[in-house]
Chains A and B, each alone.
Chain A
Amino acid sequence: MNIQRKLSILADAAKYDASCASSGSNNKNSRNGKGVGSTSSGMGICHSYTPDGRCISLLKVLLTNFCLYDCSYCINRASSSVERARFTADEVVQLTLDFYKRNYIEGLFLSSGIIQSSDYTMEQLVNVAKSLRKDHDFRGYIHLKTIPDASPELLRMAGVYADRLSINIELPSEHSIIRFAPEKNPITIHKSMGQLKSHIDESKEDRKKSKKIRSDGRNTKAKASRFIFSPAGQSTQMIVGADDSNDMTILSTADQLYGRYQMRRVYYSAYSPIQNASAALPAKAPPLVREHRLYQADWLLRFYGFTVDEITEPHSEQNGMLDLDVDPKLAWAIQHRDLFPVDINRAPREMLLRIPGIGAISVQKIIRARKFRALRYGDLTKLGLSLKKVAPFVQTHDYNSSNRLLERADLKQYFMSSESPQMSLFG
């Protein structure tokens, strides 16, 4: 089989993993080196976008799509009739370098079906990363998918070469994992995430120490002895809509994963129809709007001080599901109108963050600017805010919404006309 055919099969097999981030690593560049590559602690770069709106940042492929397991939702499961292929380590290394040198990608995201054994598979993945780093002095981004029941030594090696590691939790509840991924073990998944976390912590400590040594001026061999492990941390993915877990379960699981393992990201991947799917799962269009709302909710959990309960309102008539019509922050605000309008010039940061239509960056700007002069209603447009969105919820000395918009029974409708969440799915 030629390389082009392999690439088409093994890219197709990899596309259901939503992660594409190439951000938040350590700062590297290829000065004083032999190879190519750089990474930064800031934003990653999306080198292209496919018509599904997703970014191409990494060469995302499977080493092989042969797999011994039979996870119902997966196109590569043992019982699927999909065509199989396997790259050699050298082929992946060469492709990565060729793509990288043409500025198509930020690096490699390598995953694999389970062949022979977990350890064997993990070793193959580690070998690719090792070859890129050691043989080619590659300094771009490497994301390795980690096989949860691979040995601790292999997990440790993976983190030495990779910028990011991920272990997919796959499904929101243990029950669903057992049901739809029968060969996977929720306990092992958690154990391995725990191991990654402790290595990541250890490496952070180490970096802090060596920084301190350097600033003390005792720049001895500190640099050489630094333990660098997965500097961009770990992430995970949950499939949405394959099982019947509700959004509250999904978000609680995510919340725990953030808390326990300091995940950099939890990705939500709408279960998407695959060729030759398992009869155990729904054959329908992927729930893209739901996925989108979950990402918004995830954001609220991480950067806006919301709790899972607040977002999913356990006692509301939604049954632990997010409202698909409006974003979760707006949905919350409509339920809590008594807390609005919020005074832009006086409210504390926490409250500004709760105003629908105002993002964290705008909050920052408001706080900075209002130190110097009182903000007028008209100033909000200058900050790039949409007045239509914020109008019902804010108050300035020259504007007060309370007796108008906020009391409208059809407040939600007012917004729905401006927002169109029913994105067209099929063109």
Chain B
Amino acid sequence: MFTVSINCFAEWREQARTLLMRGVTPKSISWQHDKQSALVFDDGIDFMSLPVLYQSLSIPKAFITMAEKVACCRDDSRWALLYSLAWRILFENRDLMSIEVDSQVVKALRMRKAVGRDIHKMEAFVRFRLIDSQCSNYGDYFSAEDEYYVAWFEPDHLILPIAVTFFIKRFTNMSWSILTPDGCAHWNQSSVMFTEGIHKRPDIDDSIEVLWLTYYSNIFNPARVKIKAMQSEMPKKYWVNLPEAPLIKTLMRNAGHQVDAMLEGASTQPWHKTKKSTFVMAAQKKMQAHTTKNTS
């Protein structure tokens, strides 16, 4: 039995390659992930000393792309699962990943989906707040002249390193930090830096937020309350970090009255002003025709 310790996808990829080349079966590996990324050899055997059985192994690129996502899943079984799939792709069926009814494939695809959704939700629900650069805890990484934005987010999975590329592409010319319990990413308009996670949401006010709340309240249509539809897309777990979420209750409570007032309220007779507006239009057309004639 070999025990292999893994911290990130790149490490897994490296180790998996070494193991696969030596034909080490999935069953004989125990995948660990503790902080020290040292290899522990049970039975006193260094697997590097095993003979290489397969010189060149080629894994479909699509699998690697998928594996990279699965690797972000906060699920301890992921490394073993990926290894087992890689093994089966190489030695059993190259098209394994197309068989989406195979239990292992199903499991991996579910994990990928969960990670994909988490990334998507992070792209959606991160909220930047503008603060003074002077307040940055990250020394001279940021220039004091630039506007500096900070966001706090709690992802379900270990997605920060992947998710950050979206923010870099979109907010290239802004300085910002995204803080999460698993790690923090900082962008100073030219390079990205990762630091240790923090465990408390920072306390920041942003004066624009009140406009956002105004917008949120007014774009809501009280005649169409569909709270379930909303919650399936924006589950409650995200609410703690969304500035607009505290409004939901009030908006819901007032919706009924608002609609009743609309339904029972005074209505206007049609065509009353229509005539007038058509009249105004006609008058304007005439005026315009007149001015263009005069200027030409």
Contact = CB atoms under 8 A, between A and B. Distances in A.
Interface of A: 3-4, 7-9, 11-12, 14-16, 29-31, 33-38, 43, 45-56, 59-60, 68-70, 72, 77-81, 95, 98-99, 101-104, 116-117, 140, 182-183, 270, 272-280, 283-286, 288, 365, 368-369, 371-373, 375, 379, 382-383, 423-427
A286 B224 contact: yes
A116 B277 CA distance: 11
A50 B259 contact: no
Nearest to B248: A51
Contact of A372 (B99, B123, B219, B256): B99
Contact of B170 (A30, A116, A280, A369): A30
B220 interface: yes
A30 B169 contact: yes
Contacts of A53: 224, 226-230, 233
Which of B128, B206, B277, B280 gathers most chain A CB within 10 Å?
A: B277
Given A48-B242, A182-B278, A60 B95 contact: no
B172 interface: yes
A278 B95 CA distance: 62
A368 B169 CA distance: 34
B129 to A, nearest CB: 7
Nearest to A427: B225
Contact of B223 (A35, A55, A273, A365): A273
19 contacts: A7-B215, A30-B173, A36-B170, A36-B173, A45-B123, A48-B216, A49-B229, A50-B216, A52-B224, A53-B228, A54-B224, A102-B208, A273-B263, A283-B263, A369-B100, A382-B103, A382-B106, A424-B225, A427-B252
B172 A33 contact: yes
Contacts of B216: 48, 50, 56
Contacts of A284: 263
Interface stretch (B3-11, B22-30, B266-274): B266-274
A60 B98 contact: no
Contacts of A16: 221
Contacts of A60: 219
Given A33-B172, A52-B226, A365-B100, A273 B259 contact: yes
Interface in B201-248: 206, 208-212, 214-230, 233-234, 242, 244, 248
A319 to B, nearest CB: 26
Interface residues on B, range: 35 or more
A183 B214 CA distance: 32
Contacts of B106: 382
B268 A277 contact: yes
Which 10 residue pairs are nearest across A and B when measured between Cβ atoms?
Answer: A53-B229, A53-B226, A79-B273, A379-B101, A29-B169, A50-B220, A11-B218, A52-B224, A280-B270, A70-B274
Nearest to B220: A50
Given A50-B251, A81-B268, A288 B211 contact: no
Given A53-B226, A277-B268, A78 B211 contact: no
Given A53-B226, A373-B99, A183 B277 contact: yes
Contacts of B99: 368-369, 372-373
Nearest to A137: B173
Nearest to B178: A103
B171 interface: yes
B126 interface: yes
B35 interface: no
B120 interface: yes
B153 to A, nearest CB: 10
A248 B125 CA distance: 39
A279 B174 contact: no
Given A31-B172, A70-B277, A7 B211 contact: yes
Contacts of A371: 95, 98
Contacts of A81: 268
Contacts of A72: 270
Contacts of B248: 51
Contacts of B272: 79
Given A52-B225, A116-B284, A277 B219 contact: no
B295 to A, nearest CB: 15
B142 interface: no
A48 B234 contact: yes
Contacts of A46: 124, 233
B78 interface: no
B79 interface: no
A153 B212 CA distance: 35
Nearest to B261: A275
Contacts of A9: 218
B284 A29 contact: no
A279 B209 CA distance: 39
